[in-house]
Structures are given as C-alpha cells and as structure tokens.
Amino acid sequence: MRFERVLSRTGLTVALSLALTPAVFSVGPAIESRFFPVVSGVKVEAVEKVDDGVAFYVAFDKVRQCKFLGVAWYLGAERVGIEFEPGHNLYPLTRPVGDQYAGPWLVRNVTSLEGTTAVAIHSCHPLWETVTPFYSGT
C-alpha cells in the first residue's frame, strides 16, 4: 500500500513537470526580460547625423553577468544595421556588471534615432536567450 502511494506521488510529479514544461519555455523568456533585465538606465548621448546614419555614445548599467550576443536596432518593424566603433576591428565584448559607457555606435540608414527601438540580446543560461528592451526613440 505504501509503495503505491509513493508511486502515485512520483507519477503525479512527473506528469505535472511534463505538462508545465511548454508553459515555462513559452512564458519564461518574457518574464525574465521584464523582471530580470540585463541592462537598465540606458542613456544615448552625443547624437550626431553622419553620412551613413546616426552616430552616438551610450551609457547604461549592466545589472546581470550574462554573455553579450548583440544589439538589434529597428526602425519600425524593419531591422537596421548597427556598427560598434566604426572603423575598428573590435568585436563587442561581454562587459562586467556596473556602469558602462560605450561608443561611438553607428546605426545605419536612418536620419535620426526618433522612431527607432533596440533590444540587447544576452545569454544568461542555456534555456533561452534573454532579450532586454534597450532603447526607445519615441
């Protein structure tokens, strides 16, 4: 009798785990992005219109130690190119936690940052990529 009770509890635990797995993977990234962002307090500074687009510097606070994968910049629904420190052969690095200052960055094929948005993409764990809202030029 005791063995059957343990088996049924184990079966119930396994069944619930399997049933909840899709929910975790569909809702988890959105919850993490909203409540556990990787960067915060983004300030775009020294914005300058150049031939290729708009160049600027950016200050932000990195609040979680996650591996940097990239920044995706959008003009409406269209993704536009971004170049970190144009003319240099440097790749964006994973920065330590704390206050950061970077640039110049160049967003190509735009005349201003108004109407643009950006997200930062990081790898914080092996389950999914963490996408944090980075900039909104509204």
Q: pLDDT band for 23, please (50, 70, 90 cuts).
A: low
Query: Both 122 and 76 in a single domain?
Result: yes
pLDDT at 130: 93
Is there a single domain that holds both residue 22 and residue 65?
A: no
Q: How many domains does the chain have?
A: 2
Q: How far apart are CA 58 and CA 95, in angstroms?
A: 14
Clarify whether residues 6 and 51 are in a common domain.
Answer: no
Specify whether 79 is located in the same domain as 51: yes
- 78 within 8 A of 117, measured Cβ to Cβ: no
Query: What band does 29 get if pLDDT is binned at 50, 70 and 90?
Result: confident
Which pair of tokens denotes residue 4?
């059957």
Looking at per-residue pLDDT, the higher value among 116 and 19 belongs to 116
| Per-residue model confidence (pLDDT) at position 92 | 67
Domain residues for the domain of 65 are 36-136
The average pLDDT across 22-46 equals 83
Residue 35, token pair as written in the block = 């409540």
pLDDT band at residue 94, thresholds of 50, 70 and 90?
confident
**Burial bucket for residue 107 (CB in 10 Å: 0-12, 13-18, 19+):** buried
